[in-house]
Every structure is written in structure tokens, then in C-alpha cells.
Structure 1
């Protein structure tokens, strides 16, 4: 029997799954890796930690499935925008700067002042520390010698594929999140590169998701067959594909660390929306709300330390609609779409001695749902048709949160 091995390189760890050709999950394994916070607003990871976790998770999943001789293909999906400089010998020259990192506010101002709306017209993106270009400009300003030594800037997908095959390739869904890809021409943008002095030779070739990137050559992954490694895609676009969100009308809404919405469209509609490449030959309107599930996790760690999410959900449900007048502005790592304010701060408003921890949890859930509604309203005002939401991510395990999404958005929500 033949199997495929899928690798999901998330923000906090690596999940490896062995699947039958019919799509049935046979075995899976998960391994976490650390993030580092050297200064307020900074978030870094070690690319070698990604690889160690890939090896551990893959070997465990393959062993559980008893599939060492039967894996015929591997692919990777990944946290996007996170980027690392790699030397010609394949060594990381610095820790990767993670998508959550907010140190590049100055670089974002520079991008806005020099190119203004032209960046959006080329890339579909609004200048924000979220994307890869400001991170590269920060390195160019602060560590020019390191940038000079850099052979390739790699996204998480690119580094893992490189470690497996020795080949350097990215895909359109990932490249479109760097703020260096021309979304309409589907190649690296000479205009942006020339404007900011970025050397495009330091970036991978862009391929289509599903194309063969090479054979598995790294023997640290204990697979005796010689599977091909296919070009993968960004986690949000792959999630949309898995949920069947490939045509206009359906919207994928994933709430994990943040909330990320994807709506397939035929063209860019403008406004405060951003646009990226799908893993199928389409473009998508995207919404990014940076602190949602992570904010509820903060509530749990702060107020429900030794208790389960079941207890948190029960107390949030008991709080009732409106969280007894408590409001949360969920901008604890800046504000994404449609506000695009990297300096925004989170707020818990209306807190009194009479409020409970369940009220705070409920207010967080409602605040996220209203941010989702704000973006649905924006999409519809731009002429993007929305008939239903398809929910996934960790939050989709909460029946209460799912119901709040449905009540607030007044859209059918499929889980």
C-alpha cells in the first residue's frame, strides 16, 4: 500500500501525518519548537529547531503507520511570512523573524513613504510588519554584512524542502505573502526590488503547488523508499483548499493563534482588503486578525491556570450575550485588516469588580466575531459575494464560539 506524508509547519510546532491515497489519516505526530522574545514585540525562531522537529514528527508518524517502505510523496504547508537568511553551506545566519514580530514599524513607514499605494497595486498587500519585505529591510539596515553573506532568504516551507531535497523552491501562495511578488504577473517584482535595493538572486524560484521539487535525499528522515517531495503551499491557502473553498461565495475562517479568512475572487477589488495567490490558479482576498486564539489562550493561562477549556467555555456561556457589558479590542499585536495599524494596542473596556473571568473569556470570543463581521461587511461592500463561512482551527472545537460566529455574522457557519 502507498501513503503520502504531509508536514504542517505551524507557528508553535510541526505536525506530520501519514495518509492513504483516499485521504484517510493513518497516523500522526506533533513536536513543538520554541520561540524567542529578545525584546518587546520581537518574535524569533531557530530554523534548525524547525528541522529537528520535522525529523522527530515525521519519523514518529511513519513508524506508527509502519510505512517506512511505502511513502511515495511528501509535501509541506507552513506558517507564512516568517523568513530566515541561509548561507551557501545551508547554515542559518540568524534566527528567523516570525510573522508575529513587530520590530519593523520604521521599515513599514519607509515603504509607505516611498511607494505608497503602488505596493498594493503590485503585490495586493498593505505595508505591515506582518510581511517579509520589512523584515529583510530591517536586516539590510542593521546587519548589512549578514545580508551580503546570505545565499538565499527562505520561508519555512522553502527551508524544509531544501533540507529534504537540496533544492530551493517556493510556491506562489507563499511568495505572494513576502510583499516582493507581483500578484498579476506571478513573478518577483523588479520594481520593488530595485526601489529598495533587494537582490532577487537571493530568493528561491517560484513553482506551482504540487509540482515535484525533488527526491527525499536527507536520511535523517527514516523512510526507505525514495519519495518525491512536492512543492507545497501556505497554511491558510492549503486550509482553504482542504475545506473546499475554491470558488467565490465560500469563505474559510481559521481561528488558531490569529484568525485568517480567505475568499476566492476573480480580481482585486481594492479597499482595505489584501490579496494573495491561492494554491490553485486563483487569487484570494485575505483577512488577518493577529491575536484571537492566542488572546483566549492568554485568558486561560491568566485566569483558568489549572482548568480545562471546557470550564472556560462553560463560564463564558454562563456570562451570556454581551459579556455583561464588557468589551475587548483584540489588538494585542497591532491591528490587521481593515485597520492596518501596527501600533494599535489591546483593550479590555468596562471592567468592574463585578465582572468574572467568564465575562472576560466571553468578551474575547465576541470581539473576534465582531472583527470577522467587520471584514465580511467590507468584502460585501467591495462586491465580493459571501454565502457561507467554513470554520476550522482550534477555536472550531468550541461549540460556543462557533455559535457566536454564526450569531454575529448572520451567515451559515460550517465546521
Structure 2
């Protein structure tokens, strides 16, 4: 084929973007806009995903990425989509979006608790590998109770990455990597679970067909071409979930461990069978590659927390000074100057994953005694970075326990791997060698690989990886002395995080986020001895 470029469209937790790649894996153009998700008035924890406003944003970034690449619409040989997991969209009989939610929507607390008390949540985890906290069953029950008008009109459903492809093609489908995040999938068959639909009292007819990632699902329609700047008839290829596509872009396979550092951090391992944790700590989803599955521990908002620090403290400083320095460059410089342990500052920005009882602490910083004003911001930023690494290490230990395997080398990709400091902290905390690829945004790269394969521009996923893969930029070795120091610091962090989470449980402070459907038991001891 004459086409030499593909487009990857990505709906992340914090932004929508498009990246244009050539067939050697070089990003030749990109555009991105940040977004937020609107709180639902009178609905505690409720967040809506605005398909009209965010759809227009996606159209803008697609057109802007094509311009940035210096290409025309007909130069794009195929397009694929990827997104955050769990969030889904309902459509009416005409294919128009009726309702949508992002991954972190927490409105269905009462409904999830009912599913848990009825024993349905345990059934869901056994078959689908995930709890009901942020997944479709509880949200469907919320709609039944409070918005039955939406369910009465709904004829189709799709996950958020499916929604972007549906806007381009007017076809309805899902793929196992993102569909399994609905908690309505059977991991073993990689298909919708008729049993779970029945068990949860949901309409199976609403679920779309399932195709594997890399399958041609349609072509860009004239209407969507006029909105986005893509050419009419451009092939649209099934993509998938952001973390799984990041692993695909890295060429990761069964038996390897990877840390994907975006808004959330996912410490992952790939297996050639569906590994479901009997203690229900990490969760398991289908991988984008057929015949593989992914088990992950999620660092709640590990990357997003540094964005909060940027917006609240560093951007105002730079703005007041009239500086053109990038905020993250200033953060890295000040955090690098801070000592290990951040002079006792502990960031309560997340707790290790426990799928059935994932209680988060209140967002805060504890232990500023002795911090002078000129050092306080650097220690605050470093504390956020160290918490991200502590969460990743906690999840790594659990995954090694489950798989009976030690992972001596971990690949670290995503926006959080861009600087020098954070990857070094991860290496020092985990005591493992860290590999950082040249291309940090491997989710979009994996999405682009699927686009090239599905359109026949490359023969297979393996061929796409051989042609487009990003080489390793640097190897980071842990410092043994810092690793020893971090063991005690992590234990202290775990104690502080546990205490802060218990204060939230007692309603003394508001947690960052409280999952729907958590069991009413004491919080799992998060301290790793």
C-alpha cells in the first residue's frame, strides 16, 4: 500500500490526544488537550463524561495532529483508538450517545454494596477478574434506580475507546482488552459472560459484538471526516485499553513485568492464562494480544498527583515570575535537591490496591517539621514521587507472590518516566533494574501498531513491533544503600497511609476517593514487612 502513516487516538483520564506515526514508529505529529469530568449535582461521587464536548475535543486534536505532521487527510492510511478503562457509553436506536461516564465515576456506591451483600460481587471477581467498585454492573443498577429513562432508550453500549471508533464509523463493537474492564466478561472465553449478565439482572442484548484488537471494524464516514479532518473511507481498526496497548507498544509478552506511569500507575505482569488473585488484591483483564492476560496493581492517581502539585504550587510561581521554564522541569530540579525521604514529608496520595476494599486516604502531606520555606516545595514534590514508587513496589511484591516469579528487570513507560529522577527513585525503592524506552507514550504507539496491522500495512503484531518498536533509551540500576534506606521509609509511609485511611473511614477527613461496594471489614494491612 502507498500509505505510510497511521493515527492513534487516545482518550485518557486527564486528556484527549492524537499522535501520527510513520511505519518505523516515529511520531511525526501530535496534539493534546486536557479535560476534566463534570461532577453530577446531587450525586455523591458521580462524574459524567461529556460525549458532545469531549467528542469535539477529539475532533480538534485529530485535525491538529494531522496539521502538525504536515500531512494531508489522504496520507493517513488507518486509524485506531485507545482509552482509559471502565468508562462506558450508552446509545439510542439511532446510535446517538445517551449517557457516558469516565473510569473514576463513583456514583453507584449503594448499588455496589447491594451487589456485594448479595454475593454477586464475589461471582463477578471469580469470572471477570475485577470487583464492582468502578465497573458496569453497579452503574447499570444506579441507572435502573435513578435514570430508568436512559436504560429504556438504550440499545447499544460500548467502552470509551469503542465510542471514538463508533463516532468515526457508526459501528458497534468492543475488544477483550477494554471490554473485560466492564466486569461483564468471562476471562476464559474472552467474550461477554451470559452468566454475569443474568446474575446481575442486566440485558445481554445491549452488549456489542467482540472482536480481537487489530480487526478492521469500519471506515470513516463523510460526517466524521468533515469533523475530524480524516479522509472519507479511512480504515478504522479495533484498538483497546490504554495499559494493555502500552504493553503491546513495548513488545511485552507473558512472563515480563512492566510499570506504566500515566495518570494512574499500573504495575503489570503478563501471563498465558487468566491469573485471578484469590485474595482479590490486584485485578486481571484480557491483554490485547490474543491468548494473553494482564494482572495489575494500580497506583491510584500516582501521576495525576504530581499534576495537582504542578497546578497548585509550581505554575503560579512560574507565572508570577514571568518565567518560560516548564513546570515539570522546575519540579524535577527542586525534588532532586531534596534528600531521600523528603525530610520526613509523607504524601498521602494513594493506598495499595485491594480490589474488594480499596480505601484511599485523605489527600495531604504530613511531617513538615524542620522544612524551611525554600525547601518545602521540593520535599513536597519528592514525597509525591516516593509515594508513587512505594505503591509500585507494593504491587510488584504482590504480583511476584502470585506468579511465583521474581522480575529482576522492569520496563517503565508513560509520561512519568520522562525525567531522570522518578525512574531512579523507582529503581532505588524496588531494588530492580529499570529500563526506560525512548518512546515514553507507548499506549499511542501500540495503538498505531494495531492500526497498521488491521489495515494490512504490516503483516502481524510481531511484524509491527519489529518495524515500529522503540529502543531502550537507558538502563537505571538501583543504588544498594538507597534501597536499604527506602525499606524503612516505605514502612513508615505504609503506617502513615494506613492511619490516614482509617481517619477517612471514621469520617474525620474526606478520602481522595472511596470505592463503591467495598466490604465492611477492617482495612487490609498495607504494611509490607
Q: TM-score range by the shorter chain?
A: over 0.9
How many aligned positions are there? 409
1:157 aligned residue (151, 155, 161)? 161
In structure 2, what is the equivalent of residue 312 of structure 1? 331
Does the 8 Å contact 2:262/2:414 carry over to 1?
yes
Residue pair 1:243, 1:252 contacting (<8 A) in 2 also: no
Match of 2:468 in 1: none
Whether contact under 8 Å (2:225, 2:232) holds in the other structure is: no
- Between the aligned partners of 1:290 and 1:29, the Cα distance in structure 2 is 26
What pairs up with 1:193-232 in 2 under 5 angstroms?
Answer: 193-217=197-221, 218-220=224-226, 221-224=228-231, 226-232=233-239
Displacement after TM superposition at 1:338 (Å):
3.3
| Among 343, 347, 359, the residue aligned to 1:328 | 347
Matched residue, 2:435: 414
For 1:367, the equivalent position in structure 2 comes to 387
2-structure distance, mates of 1:414, 1:79: 24
Gap regions ≥5 residues in structure 1: none
TM-score, length basis structure 2: 0.73
Please, which of 376, 390, 399 is the counterpart of residue 411 of structure 2?
A: 390
> How do 1:163-312 and structure 2 match up within 5 A?
163-217=167-221, 218-220=224-226, 221-224=228-231, 226-248=233-255, 250-267=256-273, 268-270=275-277, 271=279, 272-281=281-290, 282-304=292-314, 305-307=316-318, 308-312=327-331
Contact 2:121 2:131 in 1 (8 A): no
Q: Distance in 2 between matches of 1:150 and 1:225?
A: 28
Q: CA offset at residue 370 of structure 1?
A: 0.8
Inter-partner Cα distance in structure 1 for 2:389 and 2:162: 33
2: distance between equivalents of 1:412 and 1:393?
17
- The alignment partner of 1:377 has SS state of helix
RMSD: 2.0
- Superposed CA deviations along residues 20-68 of structure 1, whole A, max 9, x for unmatched, are 2222222222234442123553322211223212222222222343232
Paired residues of 2:352 and 2:395 also in contact (CA < 8 A): no
Residue pair 1:13, 1:53 contacting (<8 A) in 2 also: no
- Is the CA contact 1:27–1:62 (under 8 Å) kept in the aligned structure 2? yes
Q: Are 1:82 and 2:93 matched, yes or no?
A: no
- 1:246/1:126 Cα in 2 relative to 1: closer, same or farther (>3 Å)? same
Indicate the SS of the match to 1:28.
strand
The match for 2:98 is 93
- The aligned residue for residue 521 of structure 2 is none
* Higher fraction of strand: 1
Q: Deviations over 1:65-88 (max 9, x none)?
A: 323223221111111111122111
| Cα-to-partner distance string for 1:258-311 (whole Å, 9 max, x where unaligned) | 112221013315232211001101011112122211112222222223332222
| CA-CA distance at 1:342 after TM superposition | 4.6
* Higher percent of residues as helix: 2
**d(CA) in 2 for partners of 1:222 and 1:370?**
44
Higher relative contact order (CA 8 A, sep 6+): 2
Cα distance between partner residues in 2 of 1:132 and 1:407: 38
The change in CA–CA distance for 1:88 and 1:116 in structure 2 (over 3 A counts) is closer
Distance 1:102 1:269, change over 3 A: closer
Cα distance in 1 between the residues matched to 2:419 and 2:356: 28
* Whole-angstrom CA distance in 1 between matches of 2:166 and 2:198: 27
Give 1:107 deviation, angstroms.
2.3
Which residue number in structure 1 is paired with residue 353 of structure 2? 337
Structure 1 67/262 Cα, relative in aligned 2: closer, same or farther at 3 Å? farther
DSSP-derived class of the 1:109 partner: helix
Following superposition, the deviation at residue 316 of structure 1 comes to: 1.6
Q: Which residue, out of 144, 147, 150, partners 1:146?
A: 150
